[in-house]
Structure 1
């Protein structure tokens, strides 16, 4: 028998690692989002009771899917007593009762990608596709998604419900589309995978900088997508994620504090990921049809190839950001380019660019704008203004490691 506190911890980790796959497969089997979610939660509740007595099974994901499937049958039978079932649910019940439901490991592995393609179907409003995917595939809370899209949780909840209803009404098939149809959904699918990775690489809130489960899942999905469609931007996105992930062991110290790029122990960087990422970039650029993900990956590659911070080719970084701005003009890219210019030409030049960006509404409440401003002010000796900028960044930052880093910067200034 496993002690309850230990079981709670292990089940919490299993939920993080498996809930997305379990839900995706249950949606495929059942054909209904709401019922699949209900069945999944009942399966996890059943796991608490069963596993505390019998131990965690060798393949907990399969156990949860199997249990969730039968929980769904119980729920459907309860619903059946009160009226007619929807056709999809009646079909599911018939298949289960005739023992025709398959549950291969390969299907389970592919189900999350199938679910992404459902959520990114052209029939669904583009403004709903990505939030729906983040909620249903990646397990982000409605509150987290609402915060990312700068809307209220109630507004975001309504959007997600509309997306589910559209899938049901349009009878969108739970399948990976034919190659001829992939390109119509590719941009949305790539963006979703990128957002999943971004949330894992630098969690939007909480005590931990990294959510390894989301990082690994994003990389796995990109690899799977690349086998289906060897597109240059799929290569570029996978390269970008691998190059960022290559630095994971060096990004924090043993206390979970952030270690900035220039201070990282580069011997800890994963050279296999760097090598693979650079190869993917070369393959993507050779196609001459590459886009924003490949350019971002190329920027990451410049950092990855520098043996020391001083070896970084900032002129190339600035040039790449200039190309990126032409392809995808955004305040965030302008900010990143300004920081690169400051590293190449000096902090005073960088401050001039930041001054021109200060009134951009997208940056006023963006903590990294204020932290970048604070750093450049510090480097030009404007300590009081630097402290004010860092304090504003602390107010806006939602992640505990970032808040600690900013407080350390302030303390360093005050001790000098």
Structure 2
């Protein structure tokens, strides 16, 4: 999976100590700060830990955000902001512009569920939290609507890829597979359109990936639609559908090469070397040859000059973001704990240069090498 999906760089963040000496005036207040520092450090470690699983990530995330919300939420459920709302600034890199293996069924379910959850997180941030940010969102930066929308759509598309792989392995109806592939291609095309007005210096590589996946799943859609047409004795139309599939597959191959040669942020996936990609090429070739043989012996139908219109709608397997909410406020946050933070004792802002330990260092992801025969065996 690592070499099948394109991933933009992980956002890096400067260390945050939560050492509010003098401000935190009781042991309870100091403990909240210490727990915050430790939980944040642990969460960041998990981002680059190849042994991390979804449960570990969720537990670490819930703990951190349950503590962090004491700096955001009002404890008396009023509409007023928490007095600690502005006590700590956070420094992050921008994803695009910088600034400074064979898969089991259980693993496939984890990937599928995680992508739906990720889509839900992006959607929740866009609708509920980004509008409340103190600093307005800059155009072309991570929290801008175009990028958030693209992340939501891409997560949905990649989750549907897992669905398609399973449907193929279990030999589901070709019509269902064709419809799912068509819907997935449309997702990728929509994500690309969302990024079309961004500076290609930063978004060009990402868009090449979205383009190649669009073409790949259009090839899948036409291939399986051709099988459906053949089963309905429409052999001439089936041949034309397979010919269109062949064109899209050739375009996807060319885009794979362009994508690999395009400079830009993010890890470089290698779809054309993936078994799932190569299998489609063979399937198109063999199915087209079968249709041409059948037409020569049985049907003798004329092959249309125009490709069939794909008006396919999947009734099953479509992915929607999983609704997301932040965890409940940590039990350590009480009115007494909040009152123990005395902001009058906070030191004045230091306008000097950032200290070395505040530097934002890039996050290096582990390079997981795929197996040579890495496919999507999830049945």
Give the TM-score, by structure 2 length.
Answer: 0.38
| Structure possessing the higher relative contact order (Cα contacts under 8 Å, 6 or more residues apart) | 2
Higher helix share: 1
